[in-house]
Amino acid sequence: MQYKYYLHLFAGMAMLELGNLASSLAPFNVSAVSESLGANSQESGLVVTLELFFAAISSLFFGTVSYKGKALAYCGSLIVICSYFLCSIASDVNQITFIKAFSGIGCGMLIASGHSILASSNDPNRSYAIFTIFASLTAATLIYISSTWIEDGGHQNYFFNFIYVYLALSLFFIFANKINQASADNAKGSISNRFLYFLLIAAVLFYEIPSSGMWAFMERFGVEYVGMEISEVGWVISLAIILSLGGPVFVGVFGNRLERKIIILFCLFVPALCVYFIFGIPSINTFYYGNIIWNIVFVVMVILILAAAADIDPSGRLGSWLNACILLSASVAPAVFGWVMLTNELTVIYPYLLLFLLVAMVCIGMTKKDLESPDKV
């Protein structure tokens, strides 16, 4: 029945969202250990780095196994829940760093399970677009609540409350059906243009490194450099994520009328301007508008990149690789940014961020017509 199919898709979306929460909540993982345990920028950055690194490695490993069903998702969720409980009773940042690394393994299991469901759906492009809306609404709600959890009870309250979040969304895993891996197995040797794969992976890496580094310390930048309260920063970031829901609408209206490549290049150029205004001219206004605009174009680019990946490799394998690249970038960038902030102001790094975005634009520019849907080529 049709409703069972949609429940199956929603189960996959829940898995993918829970797996990627480690990335979405990076600013407040940093805030929790900084505010409550007095961790410096390098220590708090390492907490995020190790969790996302192990999530990336785990998703790559479990993405290659032949069976990725709800049993794997349940196992991943259980690992994360246990990790959050241990973090809530930990009294030292080093303990939390080790525990969050273990949590990353569970996140990778959830990501692999979620991608296998969405990539094998009847319409992967539409499935990923709907997931983007679901993920944005969920992340915006949790980010807004997270700031109050930290202010009310520190890292103990923050980590413990996320146990309920994982328990609630894990209930939907029961609707996941057995995944047919036949199409994916047949596509294993279908990589005909390795250079195109390289260009897309490189573009994602060079875009995500500055994006993830900024995202992890955006809360700290708003508090320490702009002079905002934690709750104010949480409200701004939540608003930015909510407004980013205009991204899927834009793709739905103009996605088939304009070339994907042109839109993606535009979505790489705009963040370069946001970097300049947020870091080059720090103020409450530039913080507000820079975050809002960045989040909107980010969502548009992610949807189009995943849509292109689905057309290039219908098995969903390329999409999984790109997701792993995002996590790897997100794992490295916070530690690098944290190290820079120990001896310098964060504003000194923005010329390098602009350079990374320029390289990403060059990679996309070299793809020619390969990013367009088959009916437009």
Structure confidence by residue, pLDDT tens digits, 27-77? 788 888 887 788 887 788 788 888 988 998 888 888 766 556 788 899 999
> Which letter, b or e, does each residue of 109-138 get, where b requires 16 or more Cβ atoms within 10 Å of its Cβ?
bbbbbbbbbbbbbeebbebbbbbbbebbeb
Give the least confident one: 61-70, 205-214, 227-236, 322-331: 61-70
Give the least confident one: 217-221, 283-287, 359-363: 217-221
Instruction: Supply the Cα-derived Rg of the chain in whole angstroms.
Output: 20
Give the least confident one: 99-108, 176-185, 326-335: 176-185
- Of residues 244 and 170, more confidence is placed in 170
Structure confidence by residue, pLDDT tens digits, 160-203? 999 999 999 999 998 888 655 544 444 444 445 778 888 998 99
User: What CATH class is the domain 2-177+192-376?
Assistant: mainly alpha
What is the three-state SS of the chain?
A: CHHHHHHHHHHHHHHHHHHHHHHHCHHHHHHHHHHHHCCCHHHHHHHHHHHHHHHHHHHHHHCCCCCCCHHHHHHHHHHHHHHHHHHHHCCCHHHHHHHHHHHHHHHHHHHHHHHHHHHCCCCHHHHHHHHHHHHHHHHHHHHHHHHHHHHHHHHHHHHHHHHHHHHHHHHHHHHCCCCCCHHHHHCCCCCCCHHHHHHHHHHHHHHHHHHHHHHHCHHHHHHHCCCCCHHHHHHHHHHHHHHCCHHHHHHHHHCCCCCHHHHHHHHHHHHHHHHHHHHHCCCHHHHHHHHHHHHHHHHHHHHHHHHHHHHHCCCCHHHHHHHHHHHHHHHHHHHHHHHHHHHCCHHHHHHHHHHHHHHHHHHHHCCCCCCCCHHHC
Structure confidence by residue, pLDDT tens digits, 336-347? 777 776 666 666
Hunting for tokens 């530690």 — which residue is that? 335
Task: Check pLDDT > 80 for residue 124.
Answer: no
Q: What CA–CA distances, in Å, run from 175 to 62, 111, 117, 169, 188?
A: 21, 17, 11, 12, 28
Q: How far apart are CA 19 and CA 224, in angstroms?
A: 30
Q: What pLDDT sits at residue 324?
A: 83
Give the least confident one: 185-194, 260-269, 299-308: 185-194
The amino acid at 140: A
What average pLDDT does range 357-363 have in this prediction? 91
At 154, list the tokens: 């520190």
At 307, list the tokens: 């849509």
At 301, list the tokens: 């680019």
pTM reported for the whole predicted model: 0.77
Give the least confident one: 85-89, 160-164, 264-268, 316-320: 316-320
Q: What pLDDT sits at residue 344?
A: 65
Asked if residue 225 lies in contact with residue 287, where contact means CB atoms within 8 angstroms, the answer is no
> Which letter, b or e, does each residue of 326-342 get, where b requires 16 or more Cβ atoms within 10 Å of its Cβ?
bbbbbbbbbbbbbebbe
At 255, list the tokens: 């996605």
- CA angle, 341 as apex, 339 and 342 as ends, to 5°? 70
Q: How far apart are CA 358 and CA 352, in angstroms?
A: 10
> 324 Cβ partners below 8 Å, 6+ apart?
56, 59, 60, 63
